[in-house]
């Protein structure tokens, strides 16, 4: 008999085997609101350094905005053909407000006195606030990538197709979405929806390094 754990593991790995970077979406198919909420929750529940989540995620369904985005994304058709486009935008800079607001959330969620968290807050501030601005932006971008990974896996579990995209002009995308005024900059774009039968990429055999090549056991 196959255990529940074995079934869950098999199902998860099957989902990852099923997914691929979809190049052509069926524009007639839309992600329903229930599944969209699940994807957003998967992003929200993602791990991030210190739990600070120094990014925002734009969920774009508006066709006119996506038409404007497409030239900034090397004219890739996924931008306009997918059901939704997720833009992960990291903070370009931040101060103690980022940390203080998080500590307030912790205090409320865990019913802890705010002053009991002061030491942890001081530790985070000592590690992050003195970083040069480019390093802060890079760190925030890395955290956004963690969240994007959760989106890809959650979508695969729902058999929703995705395409993570780094092929774009950052400044142009930021301008279309008015990210500069929000103190954000684009880190990664993920198109999501349902594959077109005409997308030949879905029939390609998945290629990954072997476990022996990839993993180093110490």
pLDDT tens track for 78-116:
999 999 999 999 999 999 999 999 999 999 999 999 999
CATH number, domain with residue 137: 3.40.109.10
Q: Residue 172 domain-assigned? A: yes
> Is residue 9 a part of any domain in this protein?
no
Per-residue pLDDT of the chain (218 residues; tens, 9 = 90+): 555 566 556 699 999 999 999 999 999 999 999 999 999 999 999 999 999 999 999 999 999 999 999 999 999 999 999 999 999 999 999 999 999 999 999 999 999 999 999 999 999 999 999 999 999 999 999 999 999 999 999 999 999 999 999 999 999 999 999 999 999 999 999 999 999 999 999 999 999 999 999 999 99
Count: domains in the chain: 1
Give a yes or no: residue 1 inside a domain: no
Residue 5 belongs to some domain of the structure: no
- Domain range spanning residue 173? 23-214
pTM beyond cutoff 0.75: yes
User: What distances in angstroms separate CA 71 from CA 37, 83, 174, one per listed residue?
Assistant: 28, 18, 13
155 touches 36 (CB < 8 A): no
Would you state the pLDDT for residue 7? 57
Within a domain: residue 4? no
Inter-residue contact 72 to 172 (CB < 8 Å): yes
Cβ atoms of 81 and 94 within 8 Å: the answer is no
Alpha-carbon distance of 121 to 117, in angstroms, equals: 6
Residue 11 lies in a domain: no
- Give domain status of residue 114, yes or no: yes
């Amino acid at each position: 008999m196959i255990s529940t754990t074995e079934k869950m593991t098999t199902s998860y790995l099957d989902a990852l085997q099923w997914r691929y970077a979809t190049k052509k979406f069926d524009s007639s198919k839309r992600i329903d609101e229930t599944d969209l909420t699940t994807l957003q929750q998967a992003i929200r529940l993602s791990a991030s350094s210190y739990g600070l989540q120094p990014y925002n995620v734009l969920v774009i369904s508006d066709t006119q905005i996506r038409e404007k985005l497409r030239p900034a994304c090397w004219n890739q058709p996924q931008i306009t053909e997918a059901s939704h486009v997720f833009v992960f935008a990291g903070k370009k800079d931040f101060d103690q407000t980022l940390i203080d607001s998080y500590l307030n959330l912790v205090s409320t969620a865990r019913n802890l006195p705010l002053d009991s968290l002061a030491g942890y807050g001081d530790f985070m501030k000592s590690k992050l606030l003195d970083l040069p601005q480019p390093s802060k932006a890079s760190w925030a971008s890395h955290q956004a990538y963690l969240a994007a990974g959760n989106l890809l896996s959650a979508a695969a579990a729902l058999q929703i197709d995705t395409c993570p995209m780094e092929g774009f002009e950052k400044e142009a995308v930021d301008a279309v979405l008015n990210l500069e005024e929000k103190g954000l900059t684009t880190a990664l774009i993920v198109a999501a929806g349902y594959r077109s039968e005409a997308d030949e990429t879905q029939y390609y055999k998945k290629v990954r390094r072997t476990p022996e090549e990839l993993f180093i056991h110490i």
